[in-house]
């Protein structure tokens, strides 16, 4: 007596489920999670991966099985059975995917809320400083009475001011960072671990996008408007900050570093930057050159035109 | 009990006005026969496929190494811009129109399309538009802002190239709209009296859904490109923030078309697969009405999902959620089709010929693209993978694994009807094997590349991604090689292949009820439906009745 | 699900087609051209919808609309022109009514009047353009104004040319009759389309 096919089906279903659960959480497809938001997003992805693995194995399995089991035997030129449908089955395979996508939508909605997707307001958390006003387009942006684009404060931090603010400008082909609280201006982003940071961004020329894979957050930097990302880094390390919107032939070279470090190391770095810029300033004063002329050879190397420098806020 | 026994001689013209043979000159002229136009579309679009494929392999050659060491960055940007533009507007969209042109009148029992001259005009817009686009490389100023051509970048990089791109797309979009008008009117007004909408072959349902999308969305792209060209050439600032304009409005107008465009690119081949699988499994299509109406559902939903391409562009949170939900919903009618195709195969008598292999490959690879698509719908995840190689993986699985494999399945299936010759099965299988290996080798690693941090549209990348990129590049070379057995097979078989019977696959739709190739006016007299389009298995046919008429190759 | 038309003659082997089925292909093709035109006008309508959508988007994102410094649009001339265009649709319809009663002379008269009214509309547009204080690139509103009205004006021009072509062809005896007047119906439908688009445009640009 043969084992009934329903038993085989049950066993296959169990194996499929176990494999899906395992692979969905051990896929190794994502880099380390270095922000609070990244952990939440990874949870969502793992869930989707579990479901996807299951669906993939089911569909491919049925496909391969049917191809082999129901292939035409030599010499048999007759038709197969005249089955036209099975309404209960069709209802089932409509309902189950519908439930799955509803489930994923609800989970996504929650994660989106938890990373701060709904807590964006016009202007409150993103003070437009005097220096910022000198950037092209920000005057326009300041008058735009619309919600900030991007990702705002998580629900726990809603309503509270950010613990650190960084203003970012994207231009062909570099990122410029300035810390309004201390006046530091750099080409590399440093943030202290565990402190919520608000990143205010805009672009000078074409659309760029600010992306740190380990943070899992990305936002277009659009000329003429401000957008933001607000996040809390949770893992010390050096990560790549990548431009993620085609901005010209050297789009692939437009990347820099994000350094997540302890608060002490961060403070020290800020001090060093201030000292260095003062030295530079002193040297410039000594040379009697205005700052942009003094910096010209360096910026030319970076591909930044001197007119741009006028517009960088410090 | 009705018979499903089909008489192959049912609708063969007794007194054909002309033989089904055509002279080669017909195919190079302004000919209004929908069958000639269909073949013109198919051959032309295939040539552009090869050109677009060469561009792809040049891109992949650059990406074999992390540094920019093969072409200059400016040329590289033009290569991927042209690759995508050509594949979309000059290969897949016209190929769908080509099959629609060839098959619709035959499948509904009509002599020709509703507006044959308009039909020819629609086709003849394509070669000049394509030549114009490719000429931009020759003149040294090719478009290089991506096939999406976002301002402000597209306004500051290469004016001539951008203008050429806009003109070319406007021509191709117009061609597409004119074709859609023909398909809609013909399908609605020219079916034989006995063919109600539930006797319509599923390919026709699919083309109706496709044509509705073309009609409603392509003009909005035209509007967007008109505004863009004013910005480019006349100094206006619709999309330029320095003059108060908004670059995101362009994105809305662009994607309002370009999202439906992807359904325009897949629906015809969903339809073709729904034709191919029942024939070669010898079973009725499972869930005819579900498949028919799911095409309409996809068409409708396809119009309200566009901003899922703009999740990081700066649209408000509530809008991101709306588009997330509509995008998730569209997975349901798509899933219905996949399950229905599986159920059609289940219990059948599957002939593993080239057509069916490509159809099986279609189902197996499209589902991967569909799954990654649902992932992309989830906004928090999309924020991470937008504009990365994850998206490149997704789009190639649905467009190559879906549309292109579907095109090949359709070609192998209808080649005997179109040319009166059979293709070589051995080389068809070689073509399939190389394609399926090459396709997965090229695009599967891209999922990981994107998630790990490789962004799109770059000539240089982080060296940690080198080994995966090498695999992708070698896979793309296999894909290049895979076209050779097909091209040789198609040309050789067209000229010297064994003559095909009227109905070599023993199919039931009306195009098989006439000669191969069909007589010039298709049917001498109004065809009469004696069966539904998928009535396999209702009665076992006696194969030995007329053996010379019923060649079943496998 | 299936069509079950069984022709008993066909169940025999070696049958020949009998001419029992009326073949509409020989003699008297049904005319689908008007339906085709309707489908085409749906596409044309969508181009305008795209432009209108863009206009509304710009209007809602800029804090001040029209941007500061834009002179007020005068309403008298465009208002008169609007009435002119709407009236011309009624005139056009008279032409259609006339030909349906086989009144060729009446049809030609009404068509000529419609074309004249259309030409007056275009002249009015050109007059307005030449007297406006802003140019194509003055600001976003100005650009949108010229592009939208210009694109519409292009369609009016095509409509007038279509009417003139119908007038020209009507000189051939027997070309149009109460049975055969697709040209007039097509021109009329297109003219009404152009009129409706103008009403929306006028509302958006001048009134809103």
* Each residue's pLDDT tens digit, B527-537: 888 788 999 88
What's the pLDDT score for residue B532? 85
Axis crossing angle, helix B425-452 with helix B405-419, rounded to the nearest 10: 160
Given a cut of 80, whether residue A3 has pLDDT beyond it is yes
Q: Is residue A154 part of a domain?
A: yes
CATH assignment at residue C152: 1.20.120.80
User: How does pLDDT run across B148-204, given as a tens digit for each residue?
Assistant: 999 999 999 989 999 999 999 999 999 999 999 999 999 999 999 989 999 999 999
Q: Do A130 and A257 share a domain, yes or no? A: yes
pLDDT tens track for C103-113: 999 999 999 99
Residue of chain C minimizing CA distance to A144: C63
By Cβ distance, the residue of A44, A89, A240 closest to B381 is: A44
How far does the CA of residue A79 sit from the closest CA of chain C (Å)?
18
pLDDT tens digits for range A80-101: 999 999 999 999 999 999 999 9
**CB nearest to C36's CB, from B114, B218, B532:** B114
Domain membership of residue C19 (yes or no) is no
Is residue A224 domain-resident?
yes
Quick check: B153 and A44 CB within 8 A?
no
User: Measured between beta carbons, which residues in chain C are less than 8 angstroms from residue B111?
Assistant: 25
Model confidence at C21, pLDDT cuts 50, 70, 90, reads very low
Average pLDDT for A237-260: 96
Residues C177-187: tens digit of each pLDDT: 888 899 999 99
Contact A262, A237 (CB under 8 A): no
Task: Give B550's contacts (C-beta < 8 A, 6+ positions apart).
Answer: B8, B501, B503, B506, B543
In Å, how far is B216's CA from the nearest CA of chain C?
Answer: 6
pLDDT tops 70 at residue A145: no
Q: Which of A230-244, B346-360, B434-448, C27-41 has the lowest mean pLDDT?
A: C27-41
A→C interface, C-beta within 8 Å:
84, 143-146
When the pLDDT of each residue in chain B is averaged and rounded to a whole number, the result is 92
Write out the two tokens for B224: 């967007």
Q: Which one is predicted more confidently, B540 or A285? A: A285
Flag if C3 and B114 touch (Cβ within 8 Å).
no
Task: Check C61 against A146: CB less than 8 A apart.
Answer: yes
Is residue A100 domain-shared with residue A171, that is, in the same domain? no
CATH code of residue A167 = 2.60.40.420
Q: How far is B235 from chain C (nearest CA, A)?
A: 6
B379 touches chain A (CB under 8 A): yes
Of A155-164, A204-213, B285-294, the least confident? A155-164
pLDDT at A143 over 90: no
pLDDT given for residue A156 in this prediction = 87
Work out the average pLDDT over A244-253: 96
C139-197 per-position pLDDT tens digit:
999 999 999 999 999 999 999 999 999 999 999 988 898 888 999 999 999 999 999 99
Smallest Cβ–Cβ distance between B335 and the set A86, A97, A102 belongs to A97
Is residue C51 included in any domain, yes or no? yes
Domain that holds residue A16: 10-66+89-114
Domain count of the fold of chain A: 2
- What is the average per-residue pLDDT within A276-289? 70
pLDDT of residue B413: 98
Residue C84 included in any domain: yes
CB of C22 within 8 Å of any CB in chain B?
yes
Nearest-neighbour CA in chain C from A202: distance (Å): 17
- For residue A304, what pLDDT is reported? 58
**Average pLDDT rounded to a whole number, residues A9-19:** 96
- Interface contact C35, partner B, CB < 8 A: yes
pLDDT in tens, B498-520: 999 999 999 999 999 888 899 88
pLDDT of residue A293: 65
pLDDT at C121: 97
Element (H, E) at A14: helix A5-25
* pLDDT tens figures, A224-233: 999 999 999 9
- Same domain, yes or no: A102 and A155: no
Q: Is a pLDDT exceeding 90 seen at residue A209? A: yes
Residues 6+ apart with CB under 8 A from B259: B217, B302, B305, B306, B308, B309
Task: List the one residue out of B440, B412, B415 whose CA is nearest residue B426.
Answer: B412
Chain C residues close to A146, C-beta within 8 Å: 61
pLDDT score for C130: 94
Closest Cβ opposite residue A118 in set B317, B381, B448 = B317
pLDDT category of residue B539 using cuts at 50, 70 and 90? low
Report chain A residues whose CB lies below 8 A from the CB of B320.
Answer: 112, 117
Q: Looking at the structure, do residues A108 and A173 belong to the same domain, yes or no? A: no
Higher pLDDT among residues A190 and A137, named by residue: A190
Q: Is the pLDDT of residue B422 over 80?
A: yes
Name residue, tokens 């603010």: A165
The C-alpha torsion from B516 through B521 and B523 to B529, rounded to 10°, is: 100
| pLDDT exceeds cutoff 70 at A306 | no
Q: Does A224 share its domain with A151?
A: yes
For an interface test with B, which of C19, C32, C45, C136 has the most B Cβ atoms less than 10 Å from its Cβ?
C32
Rounded Cα distance, B260 and B280, in Å? 30
CB A152 within 8 A of CB A120: yes
pLDDT (0 to 100) of residue B520: 87
Average pLDDT over residues B242-264: 96
Give the domains, in start order, of chain B with CATH numbers. 8-12+36-550 (1.20.210.10)
Residue A287 lies in a domain: no
pLDDT value at residue A297:
65
Judgement on whether residues A49 and A150 belong to the same structural domain of the protein: no
| Cβ–Cβ gap B528/C10 under 8 Å | yes
Return the number of other C-beta atoms located less than 10 Å from residue C1's C-beta.
Answer: 15
Greatest mean pLDDT among A289-293, B99-103, C59-63:
B99-103
Q: What was the pLDDT predicted at A310? A: 53
Percentage of chain B beyond pLDDT 70 is: 93
Residues A167 and A253 in one domain: yes
Q: Is residue C143 assigned to a domain?
A: yes
pLDDT for residue C39 is more than 60: yes
Distance of alpha carbon A154 from alpha carbon A54, whole angstroms: 32
Q: Is residue C38 part of a domain?
A: yes
Local confidence band at C19 (pLDDT 50, 70, 90 cut-offs): very low
Q: How many CB atoms lie within 10 A of CB A85?
A: 17
Decide if C27 is inside a domain.
no
pLDDT for B530: 78
Residues of C with Cβ-Cβ distance to B526 under 8 angstroms: 21-25
State how far residue A143 is from chain C, nearest Cα, in angstroms. Answer: 7
- Give the pLDDT of residue B3: 30
Same domain, yes or no, for A151 and A110?
A: no
pLDDT at B540 over 90: no
Quick one: pLDDT at residue B507? 93
- Report CB contact under 8 Å: B328, A102: yes
**Residues C30, C33, C38, C42, CA torsion sign:** positive
**Chain C residues lying within 8 Å of A145, measured CB to CB:** 63
Question: pLDDT tens for residues B280-320?
Answer: 999 999 999 999 999 999 999 999 999 999 999 989 999 99
CA distance A68 to chain C (A): 30
Question: How many CB atoms within 10 Å of residue B496?
Answer: 8
Dig out the tokens for A184 from the structure.
């530091």
* Residue C46 CA, distance from chain mean position: 13
What is the rounded distance in angstroms from the CA atom of residue B489 to the CA atom of residue C140?
57
Q: Between chains, do A220 and B288 touch, taking CB under 8 Å as contact?
A: no
Residues 40-59 of C with CB under 8 A from B: 40, 42-51, 53-54, 57-58
- From chain A, pick out residues whose CB is under 8 angstroms from the CB of C61: 144, 146
Domain count, chain C: 1
Find residues 54-83 of chain C whose CB sits inside 8 Å of chain B: 54, 57-58, 61-62, 67
What is the per-residue pLDDT across C82-94, written as a single tens digit (0 to 9) for each?
999 999 999 999 9
In Å, how far is B161's CA from the nearest CA of chain A? 14
Cβ-defined contact of C63 to A84 (cutoff 8 Å): no
Considering only CB atoms, which chain B residues are within 8 Å of C145? Answer: none
Put residue B453 in one of left, alpha, beta given phi > 0 → left and psi -120 to 50 → alpha.
Answer: left
- Report yes or no on C81 lying in a domain: yes
**In Å, how far is B192's CA from the nearest CA of chain A?**
24
- Residue C14 in any domain: the answer is no
Residue of B211, B527, B191, B35 lying closest to C32 (CA atoms): B191
Q: Which pLDDT belongs to residue B538? A: 80
| C127 touches B at CB < 8 Å | no
* Domain identity same for A242 and A131: yes
**Do A105 and A159 belong to one domain?**
no
Same domain for A106 and A180, yes or no, is no
Of the two residues B441 and B11, the one the predictor is more confident about is B441
Q: Are residues A104 and A194 in the same domain?
A: no
Better-scored residue on pLDDT, A135 or A42: A42
Q: B183 near B192, Cβ under 8 Å?
A: no
**pLDDT at position B139:** 87
Question: Domain of C104?
Answer: 33-207
Give the pLDDT of residue A311.
Answer: 52
pLDDT score of A147 more than 90: no
Give the number of other CB atoms < 10 A from CB of residue A58: 17
B107 with B419: CB under 8 angstroms?
no
With cut-offs at 50, 70 and 90, classify the pLDDT of residue B126.
very high
Which residues in chain A touch residue B393, judged by CB atoms under 8 angstroms apart? none
A205: in domain: yes
């Amino acid at each position: 007596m043969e084992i009934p096919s329903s038993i085989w089906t049950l066993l296959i279903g169990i194996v499929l489920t176990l494999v899906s659960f395992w692979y969905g959480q051990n896929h190794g497809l994502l880099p380390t999670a270095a922000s609070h938001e990244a952990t939440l997003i990874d949870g969502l992805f793992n869930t989707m991966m579990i479901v996807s693995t299951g669906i993939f194995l089911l569909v491919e399995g049925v496909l391969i099985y049917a191809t082999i089991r129901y292939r035409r035997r030599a010499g048999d030129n007759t038709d197969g059975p005249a089955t036209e449908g099975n309404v209960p089955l069709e209802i089932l395979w409509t309902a189950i995917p519908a439930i799955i996508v509803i489930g994923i939508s609800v989970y996504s909605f929650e994660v989106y809320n938890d990373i701060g997707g709904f807590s964006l307001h016009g202007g409150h958390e993103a003070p437009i400083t005097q220096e910022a006003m000198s950037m092209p387009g920000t005057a326009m942006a300041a008058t735009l009475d619309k919600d900030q684009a991007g990702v705002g404060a998580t629900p726990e931090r809603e309503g509270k001011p950010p613990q650190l603010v960084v203003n970012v400008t994207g231009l062909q082909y570099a990122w410029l960072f300035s810390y309004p609280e201390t006046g530091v201006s750099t080409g590399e982003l440093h943030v202290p671990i565990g402190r919520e940071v608000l990143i205010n961004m805009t672009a000078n020329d074409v659309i760029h996008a600010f992306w740190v894979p380990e943070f899992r957050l990305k936002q277009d930097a659009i000329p003429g408007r401000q957008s933001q990302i607000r996040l809390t880094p949770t893992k010390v390390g050096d990560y790549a900050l990548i431009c993620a919107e085609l901005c010209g032939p050297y789009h692939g070279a437009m990347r820099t570093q994000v350094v997540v470090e302890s608060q002490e190391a961060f403070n020290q770095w800020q001090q060093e930057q201030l000292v260095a810029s003062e030295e530079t300033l002193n040297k410039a004063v000594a040379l009697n050159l205005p700052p942009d002329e003094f910096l010209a050879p360096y910026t030319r190397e970076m591909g930044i035109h001197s007119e741009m420098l006028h517009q960088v806020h410090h | 009990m009705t018979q499903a026994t089909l008489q192959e001689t049912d609708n063969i013209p007794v007194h054909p006005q002309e033989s089904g043979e055509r002279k080669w000159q017909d195919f190079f002229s302004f000919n209004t026969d929908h069958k000639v136009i269909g073949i013109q579309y198919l051959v032309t679009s295939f040539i552009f496929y090869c050109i677009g494929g060469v561009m792809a392999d040049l891109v992949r050659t650059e990406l074999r190494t992390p540094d920019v060491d093969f072409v200059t960055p400016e040329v590289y940007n033009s290569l991927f811009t042209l690759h995508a533009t050509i594949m979309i507007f000059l290969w897949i969209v016209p190929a769908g129109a080509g099959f629609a042109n060839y098959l619709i009148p035959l499948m509904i029992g009509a002599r020709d399309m509703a507006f044959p001259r308009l039909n020819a005009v629609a086709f003849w817009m394509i070669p000049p538009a394509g030549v114009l686009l490719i000429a931009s490389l020759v003149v040294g100023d090719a478009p290089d802002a991506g096939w999406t051509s976002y301002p402000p970048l597209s306004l500051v990089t290469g004016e001539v190239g951008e203008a050429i791109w806009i003109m070319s797309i406007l021509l191709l979009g117009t061609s597409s709209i004119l074709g859609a008008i023909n398909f809609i009117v013909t399908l609605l007004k020219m079916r034989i009296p006995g063919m109600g909408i539930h006797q319509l072959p599923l390919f026709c349902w699919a083309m109706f859904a496709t044509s509705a999308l073309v009609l409603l969305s392509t003009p909005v792209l035209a509007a967007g490109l008109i505004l863009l060209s004013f910005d480019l050439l006349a100094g206006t600032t619709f999309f330029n923030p320095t003059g108060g304009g908004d670059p995101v409005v362009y994105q809305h107008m662009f994607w309002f078309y370009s999202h439906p465009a992807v359904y325009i690119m897949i629906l015809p081949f969903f339809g073709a697969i729904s034709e191919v699988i029942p024939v070669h499994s010898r079973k009725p299509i499972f869930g005819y009405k579900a498949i028919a109406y799911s095409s309409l559902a996809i068409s409708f939903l396809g119009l309200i999902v566009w901003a899922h391409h703009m999740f990081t562009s700066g649209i408000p949170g509530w809008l991101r959620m709306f588009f997330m939900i509509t995008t998730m919903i569209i997975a349901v009618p798509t899933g219905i089709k996949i399950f229905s195709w599986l159920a059609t195969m289940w219990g059948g008598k599957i002939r593993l010929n080239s057509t069916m292999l490509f159809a099986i490959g279609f189902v197996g690879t499209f589902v991967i693209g569909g799954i990654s698509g649902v992932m992309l719908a989830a906004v928090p995840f999309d924020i991470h993978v937008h504009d990365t190689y994850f998206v490149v993986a997704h789009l190639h699985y649905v467009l190559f694994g879906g549309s292109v494999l579907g095109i090949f399945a359709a070609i192998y299936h209808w080649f005997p009807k179109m040319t009166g010759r059979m293709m070589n099965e051995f080389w068809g299988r070689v073509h399939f094997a190389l394609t399926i290996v090459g396709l997965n080798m090229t695009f599967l690693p891209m999922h990981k590349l994107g998630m790990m941090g490789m962004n799109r549209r770059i000539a240089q990348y982080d060296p940690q991604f080198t080994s995966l990129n090498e695999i992708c590049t070698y896979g793309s070379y296999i894909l290049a090689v895979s076209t050779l057995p097909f091209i040789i097979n198609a040309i050789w078989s067209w000229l010297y292949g064994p003559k095909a019977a009227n109905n070599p696959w023993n199919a039931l739709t009306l195009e098989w009820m006439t000669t191969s190739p069909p007589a010039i006016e298709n049917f001498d007299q109004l065809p009469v439906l004696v069966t539904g389009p998928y009535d396999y298995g209702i009665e076992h046919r006696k194969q030995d009745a007329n053996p010379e008429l019923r060649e079943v190759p496998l | 699900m299936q069509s079950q038309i069984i022709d008993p003659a066909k169940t025999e082997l070696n049958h020949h087609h009998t001419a029992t089925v009326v073949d509409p292909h020989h003699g008297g093709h049904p005319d689908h051209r008007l339906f085709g035109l309707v489908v085409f006008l749906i596409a044309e309508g969508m181009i305008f919808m795209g432009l209108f959508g863009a206009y509304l988007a710009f209007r809602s994102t800029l804090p001040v609309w029209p941007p500061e410094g834009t002179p007020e649009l005068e309403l008298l001339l465009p208002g008169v022109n609007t009435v002119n265009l709407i009236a011309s649709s009624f005139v056009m319809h008279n032409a259609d009514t006339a030909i349906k009663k086989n009144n060729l002379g009446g049809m030609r008269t009404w068509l000529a009047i419609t074309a004249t009214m259309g030409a007056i509309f275009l002249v009015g547009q050109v007059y307005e353009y030449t007297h406006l204080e802003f140019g194509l690139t003055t600001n976003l509103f100005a650009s949108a104004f010229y592009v939208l009205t210009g694109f519409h004006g292009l369609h009016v021009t095509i409509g007038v040319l279509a009417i003139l072509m119908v007038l020209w062809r009507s000189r051939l005896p027997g070309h149009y009759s109460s049975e055969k007047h697709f040209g007039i119906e097509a021109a009329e439908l297109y003219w009404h389309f152009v009129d409706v688009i103008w009403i929306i445009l006028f509302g958006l640009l001048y009134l809103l």
